[in-house]
């Protein structure tokens, strides 16, 4: 049983973890940078320790300072949230070596999924469908040419150390391959200090559908159904929902079983997410596994009525999961409210929130760390909060979302609210007719 958990994060996810800890009777420690001394996570936690200057590298990514904070507060576990150190294998192993339980998978599991070609190899062995193409690193441009001919253009080059869309190159025909190979390799080396790249068939206009999973220390795994995250812009998700409007019972069963195989293949322990590309024929392919709690976990919590953070903590304490799979009983949509100007290429808009009115009422959940007078720092991501609606049907969840967005008043900074208001009235969105390319052509009206 954990007595005290240190939360190595900030913002809404730090608050989210503190809330569950309170309910479980576990004491909490917040860590904060000098830019966050007025943040709510600092005020809501039982204790708080300043860990450095505003730049993430000097605070939320500063492992020695975080270890020192655990030491002086006598914390017995650490929750990494998402981002920052959540998928840092070195941090996970340092914690466990220091006798502080990392609330997440082991360093070995993080590494197995962090290297994309290793992950793909593991999935092939486990019988999880992967995108046709190379199952090993490319050794030369000649090999790349030969392989592309075999699988057929278009193909995509990806960095093995990448993920989340960084360092990808789509190649439409042979005339482009040499240049694409060289730039992909150079970008990979520069971004990840690892120039390994591999090739896949390029799946055109796919949906991004991910399956929430959980595994315990006893080898049990379960799935918790899907989230549709196809509404993204430059690999930044803006809207997520569960269930996916594209889902069928048959596909959910097949993807759920594949996700469980993926988790079981590495003996996965904790909550996690298996991401798939789904083509228009409902073929699905393993993309990557996120070995952390995700921003959009809330829509799953709402449709299966289940606290995923509580489950994550219980698994870390050595408890068994029920072993049952979970299926959606409601429909839930999440809109990310960012301090960005949707009329100006979603440019970040940090600054002070002068006026704030938060929506409420039936079917509305708001996960946010801001208050009137709060200053959104330019040092961190621009998320102000997440607006989540829950209803019996997708149509009602959209209607509730439109109503809640209309109530939301945030003054002082530009926000993504006007974008979401228009999206909720978009005919294709309402029909559930969208894929990952949707926002490339979505026209925001002035």
Closest CB to ligand MV4 among 270 and 436? Answer: 436
Q: Establish if 228 lies at the interface with ligand MV4 (CB under 6 A).
A: no
Whole-number minimum distance, CB 166 to ligand MV4, in Å? Answer: 8
Q: Please count the CA atoms within 13 angstroms of the CA of 61 that sit on its side-chain side.
A: 11
Whole-number minimum distance, CB 159 to ligand MV4, in Å? Answer: 10
* 331 contacts 242 by C-beta, under 8 angstroms: yes
Beta pairing, strands 284-290 & 270-278: antiparallel
Q: How many helices (H) and strands (E) does the chain have?
A: 15, 22
* 341 contacts 347 by C-beta, under 8 angstroms: yes
Distance (Å) of CA 135 to CA 108, 109, 117, 200: 21, 19, 7, 8
Sketch the per residue contact string, 387 through 426, with ligand MV4: x for CB under 6 A, - otherwise: ----------------------------------------
Whole-number minimum distance, CB 232 to ligand MV4, in Å? Answer: 5
Q: What's 234-267 look like in SS3? A: CCEEEEEEECCCCCCHHHHHHHHHHHHHHHHHCC
Candidate residues 203, 353, 390, 439; the one interacting with ligand MV4 per rule CB under 6 A: 203
Task: In whole angstroms, give the CA distance from residue 114 to residue 158.
Answer: 13
> If DSSP codes are grouped into helix, strand and coil, which group holds residue 108?
helix
Name which of residues 259 to 288 contact ligand MV4 (CB under 6 A): 277, 287-288
Candidate residues 102, 202, 276, 346; the one interacting with ligand MV4 per rule CB under 6 A: 202
Choose the stretch contacting ligand MV4; rule: CB under 6 A; options: 38-46, 53-61, 194-202, 335-343: 194-202
Whole-number minimum distance, CB 23 to ligand MV4, in Å? Answer: 34
Name which of residues 131 to 160 contact ligand MV4 (CB under 6 A): 131, 156
Task: In whole angstroms, give the CA distance from residue 254 to residue 22.
Answer: 37
Closest CB to ligand MV4 among 112 and 314? Answer: 112
Closest CB to ligand MV4 among 32 and 286? Answer: 286
Partnered with residue 15 across adjacent β-strands are none
Distance (Å) of CA 98 to CA 57, 82, 365: 21, 22, 37
Going along 243-353, which residue ranges are E strands? 270-278, 284-290, 331-338, 340-341, 347-348, 351-352
227 in active site: no
Span between the terminal Cα atoms of the chain, in Å:
54
> Among candidates 383, 408, 267, 420, which has minimal Cα distance to 15?
383
Closest CB to ligand MV4 among 49 and 156? Answer: 156
Whole-number minimum distance, CB 431 to ligand MV4, in Å? Answer: 20
Closest CB to ligand MV4 among 154 and 267? Answer: 154
Size of the site for ligand MV4 (CB under 6 A): 17
> Among candidates 83, 46, 104, which has minimal Cα distance to 379?
83
Candidate residues 232, 236, 283, 422; the one interacting with ligand MV4 per rule CB under 6 A: 232
Give kind and range of the element (H or E) at residue 144: helix 141-151
153, with CB counted inside 10 A (0-12, 13-18, 19+), is middle
Candidate residues 11, 104, 114, 163; the one interacting with ligand MV4 per rule CB under 6 A: 163
Closest CB to ligand MV4 among 5 and 155? Answer: 155
* 46 contacts 28 by C-beta, under 8 angstroms: yes
Whole-number minimum distance, CB 278 to ligand MV4, in Å? Answer: 10
Candidate residues 16, 208, 365, 420; the one interacting with ligand MV4 per rule CB under 6 A: 208
Closest CB to ligand MV4 among 208 and 260? Answer: 208
Partnered with residue 47 across adjacent β-strands are 29
| Catalytic residue (choose from 10, 233, 292, 336) | 292
Closest CB to ligand MV4 among 95 and 231? Answer: 231
Whole-number minimum distance, CB 15 to ligand MV4, in Å? Answer: 28
Whole-number minimum distance, CB 259 to ligand MV4, in Å? Answer: 15
Choose the stretch contacting ligand MV4; rule: CB under 6 A; options: 107-115, 117-125, 195-203, 368-376: 195-203
Distance (Å) of CA 37 to CA 32, 43, 54, 377: 7, 9, 10, 12
Choose the stretch contacting ligand MV4; rule: CB under 6 A; options: 62-70, 92-100, 199-207, 419-427: 199-207
Q: Is the peptide bond before 154 cis (omega within 30 degrees of 0)?
A: yes
Residues that bind ligand MV4 (CB under 6 A): 131, 156, 163-165, 200-203, 206, 208, 232, 235, 277, 287-288, 436
Residues classed as catalytic: 292
């Amino acid at each position: 049983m954990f007595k005290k958990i240190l939360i190595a994060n900030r913002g809404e996810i730090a608050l989210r973890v503190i809330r569950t800890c309170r309910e479980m009777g576990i004491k909490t420690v917040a860590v904060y940078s000098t830019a966050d001394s007025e943040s709510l996570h600092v005020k809501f936690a039982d204790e708080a320790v300043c860990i450095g200057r505003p730049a993430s590298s000097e605070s939320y990514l500063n492992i020695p300072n975080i270890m020192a904070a655990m030491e002086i507060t006598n914390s017995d576990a650490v929750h990494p949230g998402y981002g920052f150190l959540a998928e840092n294998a070195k941090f996970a192993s340092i914690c466990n070596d220091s006798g502080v339980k990392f609330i997440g998978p082991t360093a070995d599991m993080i590494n197995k999924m962090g290297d994309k070609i290793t992950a793909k190899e593991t999935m092939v062995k486990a019988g999880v469908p992967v995108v046709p193409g190379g199952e090993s690193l490319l050794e030369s441009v000649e090999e790349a040419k030969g392989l592309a001919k075999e699988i057929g253009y278009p193909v995509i080059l990806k960095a093995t150390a990448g993920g989340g869309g960084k360092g990808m190159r789509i190649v439409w025909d042979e005339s482009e391959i040499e240049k694409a190979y060289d730039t992909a390799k150079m970008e990979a080396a520069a971004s990840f200090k690892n120039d390994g790249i591999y090739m896949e068939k390029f799946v055109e206009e796919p949906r991004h559908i991910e399956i929430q999973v959980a595994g315990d220390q006893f080898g049990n795994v379960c799935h918790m159904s899907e989230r549709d995250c196809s509404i993204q812009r430059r690999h930044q998700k803006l809207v997520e929902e569960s269930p996916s409007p594209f889902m069928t019972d048959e596909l959910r069963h097949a993807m759920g079983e594949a996700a469980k195989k993926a988790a079981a293949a590495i003996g996965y322990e904790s909550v996690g997410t298996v991401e798939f590309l789904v083509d228009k024929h409902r073929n699905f392919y393993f993309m990557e596994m996120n070995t952390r709690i995700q921003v959009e976990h809330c829509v799953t919590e709402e449709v299966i009525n289940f606290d995923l953070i509580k489950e994550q903590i219980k698994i870390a304490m050595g408890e068994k999961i029920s072993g049952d799979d979970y299926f959606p009983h409601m429909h839930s949509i999440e809109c990310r409210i960012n301090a960005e100007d949707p009329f100006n290429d979603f440019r970040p808009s940090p600054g002070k929130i002068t006026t704030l009115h938060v929506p409420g009422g039936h079917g509305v959940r708001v996960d946010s760390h801001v208050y009137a007078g709060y200053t959104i720092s330019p040092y961190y991501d621009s998320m102000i909060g997440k607006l989540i609606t829950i209803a019996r049907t997708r149509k009602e969840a959209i209607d509730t979302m439109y109503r809640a967005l209309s109530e939301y008043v945030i003054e002082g900074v530009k926000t993504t609210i006007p974008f979401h208001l228009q999206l909720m009235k978009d005919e294709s969105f309402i029909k559930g007719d969208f894929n990952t390319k949707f926002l490339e052509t979505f026209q925001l009206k002035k």
